[in-house]
Amino acid sequence: MNYQVLARKWRPHNFKEVVGQEHVVQSLINGLQHNRLHHAYLFTGTRGVGKTTLARILAKAINCENLQDNNPCDTCVTCMDINEGRFLDLIEVDAASRSKVEDTRDLLDNVQYAPNQGKYKVYIIDEVHMLSGHSFNALLKTLEEPPEHVKFLLATTDPQKIPVTILSRCLQFNLKQLSPSQIFSQMELILTQEKLDYEPAALKSLSRAADGSMRDGLSLLDQAIVYGNGIIKISDVNTMLGTVAIQPIEEILQALANNDAKAIMNKIAELESLSANFKDVLQQIIQVLHRTALSQHIPNFIDDNFNKELIDNLAKQLSTEDIQLFYQIGILGQKDLPLAPDPRSGLEMVMLRMLTFKPTKKNAPTVVEIPKSASKEALYPFEATKTFVTPKQHNTTDTSWVSMISAMKLVGMTKEFASHCALESLDDNTCTLKINPNHIISTKAQDSLQTALRHYTKSPQLKLNITSTKTTIETPAVQIIRERENQQQTSVEAINVDSNIQVLKDNFDARILPGTIEPVFTKEEQ
C-alpha cells in the first residue's frame, strides 16, 4: 500500500477534529443547527490553516443524511462518497489553473440543474482571487441570484484581490494562524497514534518552524521522521532545519549580561563554524529576551519552551530597561542583517550595540570599551535619538513669593499670572503685587489668586492690590528662565566631558548634533 503523507492522512473529517479555528467552527455549527445557511461562504487565511478542509467538511455536513451533533457522520453514503472523491454534486475547482472566463462559464452552466445525489450542489473554488476580471463578473451574476439548491464555498490566501462586489455577497470567515502550542499538541497526538518515538524539544522546534501552518508543520514532521529513521530527535531536527541548539544562544545572552564582549564574539565565531543561520540566531535571542521580559513582570508565567533557570538568571541580572533596549536593538537589527557585508558581522554589530548602549547605573558612570575594529554602523542609535542629561540643581534666590506660589498649589492661568508678579508687601489685610505694564491683567486670574491668598494667610478679608509698574524685583517667571538657561548650559557641559562620548568621538569621529541635548525637568519644573 502506498504511503500517505501525514498532512493528508490526518486531515480533519469533521468539525471536532479541526484545530485552532473554534470561532469559525462555532459559527458554521450554529448555522447548521438553526438551518441558517448562507448561499456563499468565503474562507480566508494563510496557507495550511484549514480553509479548503473546512469547506469540504461543510459540504459534507449540509448533505449528510445523518448529522451527529451537527457534525457529518462519515458513515452514510453521501459522506463516504465525498471522502472518496466521487460525489457528483461536489464540484471542486482550483482557480489558479482555471482562471479564464470560459472556464468559469463552463463551470456555472449546470448551476440551474437540480443536484444528482445530495440536497445541495456545492461549488468549492480554491484560490478564488486568481480568477480574471471577466470570470468574477460571470460569478457575480450567479451570486446575485443563486438557485436555492446551490452553495458556493470560496477559499483564498489574498482576499484583497477579490472585488468588493463579490465580498459583499459572501459570508466571510478569517482563519487564524495556529500557535506553536496548537501545532505541537497535534504532532504529539499523531506520533502517539503512529507509535513513533520523539523528543518534545524536537516537536517544539518543528512547531515554531511551521510558522502558523498546520500543513507545513506536518510536512516538516514527515521530513523529520525520514531524516531520523523513525525517531524524532532535537539534534536531527536542528540539523535538518539548519538551526542551532539553544545552548549557544544561552551562552551569548549570559555573556551579554556579564558585559563580556570577547565571550560573545568567540561564541559567534563557533556558530559560524557550524554553518549557523545568523538570522535564526538573532530571532532566538529576541525570543529569549521577550520571555525574560515576561518573567520580570509575570514571575509565575509558565512556558516550557525555554530554560527556566536561564530565564530566571537573566531576569535577575538585567534590569527591565536593559531587556527592553536589547529587544528593540534586536528587532531593528533584523532589518540591518541583509545590508551587512556578511551575516556574521551583522550579528556581531547587533550584539556590540547592545553592549555599547546599555544604560549605566545612576551615580556609577562606566566606560564601555568598544573594539576599534567595530563598524561605524553602531553609531546610528546615538545620532538617531536625543541625549538627555539630568542637570545639577541650583538653589533659587527667592524664598518668599516663589514658595508661596508653590504652597498655594496654583494651576493654569492663575499660576502663570502669579509667576509674572513680584511681591512688594503682605500683611493681614493687604497683599500688594507689582507687574510689568506690558503684561495683561486677567480679572478672573486676579480673583482666583486673591481667593488662594485668603486661604493661604487664613485672612478672609485680605485684599489683593495689583500695581502695573516696572520693578527691579526678580519675578518667578524670570527666575525660571534663568534657571533653565543654567540647566541647559550644565547639560551641554556634562555631555562634552562625558567619558563614553569621548570614546565615540575618538574611535568613530562622532559628533554631537546641535539641538539634541536637553535637560530633564521634573514635573514641578515643567
What strands lie across the sheet with 463-468, from one edge to the other? 421-426, 430-435, 463-468
| Total H helices, total E strands in the chain | 23, 12
pLDDT given for residue 427 in this prediction: 87
3-state secondary structure 13-44: CCHHHCCCCHHHHHHHHHHHHCCCCCCEEEEE
Kindly state the cell numbers that stand for 171. Answer: 459570508
Distances (CA, A) of 196 to 190, 193, 230: 9, 8, 6
Domain boundaries for CATH 3.40.50.300 within the chain: 6-174
Instruction: Report how far Cα 269 is from the mean position of its chain's Cα atoms.
Output: 31
* C-alpha radius of gyration, the chain, whole number: 36
Kindly state the cell numbers that stand for 2. Answer: 502506498
The pTM of the full predicted model, rounded to 2 decimals, is 0.58
Instruction: Report how far Cα 493 is from the mean position of its chain's Cα atoms.
Output: 39
Domain boundaries for CATH 1.10.8.60 within the chain: 180-241
Burial class (CB in 10 A: 0-12, 13-18, 19+), 30: exposed
Residue 333: which H helix or E strand, with range? helix 320-336
- For cell 563580556, name the residue: 260
For residue 85, is it left (φ>0), alpha (ψ between -120 and 50) or beta?
Answer: left
C-beta of residue 460 within 8 angstroms of C-beta of residue 399 = no
C-beta of residue 42 within 8 angstroms of C-beta of residue 172 = yes
Kindly state the cell numbers that stand for 357. Answer: 548602549
pLDDT given for residue 364 in this prediction: 44
Integer distance in angstroms from the first to the last C-alpha of the chain? 80
- The CA-based angle 162-166-171, given to 5 degrees, is 105
Length of the chain, please?
526
Helix (H, G, I), strand (E, B) or coil at 178: coil
pLDDT given for residue 244 in this prediction: 54
Distances (CA, A) of 132 to 101, 125, 164, 402: 7, 13, 14, 76
pLDDT given for residue 1 in this prediction: 52
pLDDT given for residue 526 in this prediction: 52
Helix (H, G, I), strand (E, B) or coil at 252: helix
Output the DSSP codes for 444-487.
HHHHHHHHHHHHHHT-TT-EEEEEES--SSPPHHHHHHHHHHHH
Q: Which residues of 16-26 are buried (b: 16+ CB within 10 A; e: fewer)?
A: eebbbbeebbe
Kindly state the cell numbers that stand for 165. Answer: 462586489
Distances (CA, A) of 186 to 200, 215, 512: 12, 11, 56
Compute the distance between CA of residue 473 and CA of residue 423 in angstroms, rounded to an integer: 8
Domain boundaries for CATH 1.20.272.10 within the chain: 246-362+377-385
Residue 425: which H helix or E strand, with range? strand 421-426
Compute the distance between CA of residue 470 and CA of residue 8 in angstroms, rounded to an integer: 91
CATH of 6-174, one of 3.60.10.10, 3.20.20.120, 1.10.760.10, 3.40.50.300: 3.40.50.300
Q: Which residues of 188-222 are buried (b: 16+ CB within 10 A; e: fewer)?
A: eebbeeeeeebbebbbbbbbbbbebbbbbbbbbbe
Kindly state the cell numbers that stand for 239. Answer: 540539523
Kindly state the cell numbers that stand for 420. Answer: 509674572
- Would you tell me how many other CB atoms lie within 10 Å of the CB of residue 399? 9
Output the DSSP codes for 187-212.
HHHHHHHHT-EE-HHHHHHHHHHTTT
Helix (H, G, I), strand (E, B) or coil at 242: coil
C-beta of residue 398 within 8 angstroms of C-beta of residue 406 = no
- For cell 469559525, name the residue: 24
pLDDT given for residue 303 in this prediction: 63
C-beta of residue 121 within 8 angstroms of C-beta of residue 111 = yes
pLDDT given for residue 296 in this prediction: 86
Kindly state the cell numbers that stand for 343. Answer: 551575516
Nearest to 496 by CA among 510, 481, 482: 510
Domain boundaries for CATH 3.30.300.150 within the chain: 393-526
- All residue ranges of the chain with pLDDT < 50 are 362-368, 370-380, 382-398
Output the DSSP codes for 292-303.
HHHHHH-TT---
C-beta of residue 330 within 8 angstroms of C-beta of residue 285 = yes
> pLDDT (tens digit, 9 = 90+) per residue, 142-189?
888 888 899 999 999 999 999 999 999 999 999 999 988 899 999 999
Which spans in 242-277 are helix H? 246-257, 261-273
Compute the distance between CA of residue 213 and CA of residue 219 in angstroms, rounded to an integer: 10
Q: 180-241: which CATH architecture?
A: Orthogonal Bundle (1.10)
CATH class for the domain made up of 246-362+377-385: mainly alpha
- Residue 83: φ, ψ to 5°: -60, -35
Q: Which superfamily does 393-526 belong to?
A: DNA polymerase III, tau subunit, domain V (3.30.300.150)
